[in-house]
């Protein structure tokens, strides 16, 4: 096994464990916090590791740019960069849209959970897929089907949750100057072309993989 493969396996395995911890921890806490009407407490508990893990994913842009993986550097930057902007310029900067006591904060909590769970489930599947592929040279049929079908509901949930948080930051954020409002508005409008573009890209990949699997089955 090459040094490159060993590094990529280690990176993907670490990312798998981090997202697994974030997702499982969130799911386990949900029933008790919901019963006590304290869902907003998840923000303080989850955000530190979430922000660190999402930042770590920026390495994937470097991996693509250096040719360590076959992914497009541009598409990877759009996906990873967009999520990091939501984390650092919305979630971190405007905690009140999630932890406040108003009606809008209830939506903020829902959007925050939508991001955490949609991102988490997607990344657990994705990184697990890469670990299996890099370790064995192939992936089980069930894992391929899971990876190329799970995004169908998860991607729209994550996208709408991200856009929802950006909208709340724009309309309810404390101390938002004109420049920052322009930035948030631009970010919100970016979802219109970027969302369908990325979803179409993933659908295209899905068709190719399902066609290959169908050929192998026959």
Catalytic positions: 155, 162
Residue (of 79, 72, 163, 166) closest to 123 by Cα position: 79
Q: Is 86 exposed, middle or buried (0-12, 13-18, 19+ CB in 10 A)?
A: buried
The alpha helices in 36-140, defined as continuous H runs, are: 41-56, 59-66, 73-86, 96-99, 103-136
DSSP assignment letter at 94: -
Could you give the CA distance from residue 193 to residue 118 in angstroms, rounded to a whole number?
A: 20
Exposure of 102 in the CB half-sphere (CA atoms within 13 A): 8
- Smallest Cα–Cα separation from 90: which of 74, 114, 78, 108? 108
Burial group, residue 3, by CB count within 10 angstroms (0-12, 13-18, 19+): exposed
Given a contact cutoff of 8 angstroms between Cβ atoms, the answer to whether 127 and 21 are in contact is no
């Amino acid at each position: 096994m090459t040094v490159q493969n060993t590094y990529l396996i280690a990176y993907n395995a670490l990312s798998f464990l981090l997202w697994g911890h974030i997702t499982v921890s969130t799911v386990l806490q949900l029933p008790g916090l919901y019963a006590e009407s304290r869902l907003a407490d998840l923000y303080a508990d989850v955000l530190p590791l979430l922000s660190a893990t999402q930042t770590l994913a920026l390495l994937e842009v470097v991996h693509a740019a250096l040719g360590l993986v076959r992914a497009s550097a541009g598409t990877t930057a759009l996906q990873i960069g967009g999520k990091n902007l939501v984390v650092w310029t919305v979630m971190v900067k405007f905690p009140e849209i999630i932890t406040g006591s108003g009606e809008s904060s209830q939506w903020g909590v829902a959007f925050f959970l939508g991001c955490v769970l949609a991102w988490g489930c997607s990344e657990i599947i994705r990184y697990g897929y890469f670990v299996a592929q890099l370790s064995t040279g192939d992936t089980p049929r069930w894992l391929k089907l899971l990876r190329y079908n799970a995004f169908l509901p998860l991607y729209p949930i994550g996208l709408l949750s991200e856009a929802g948080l950006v909208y709340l930051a724009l309309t309810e954020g404390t101390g938002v100057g004109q420049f920052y409002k322009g930035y948030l508005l631009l970010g919100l409008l970016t979802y219109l072309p970027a969302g369908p573009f990325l979803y179409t890209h993933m659908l295209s990949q899905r068709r190719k993989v399902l066609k290959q699997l169908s050929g192998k089955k026959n």
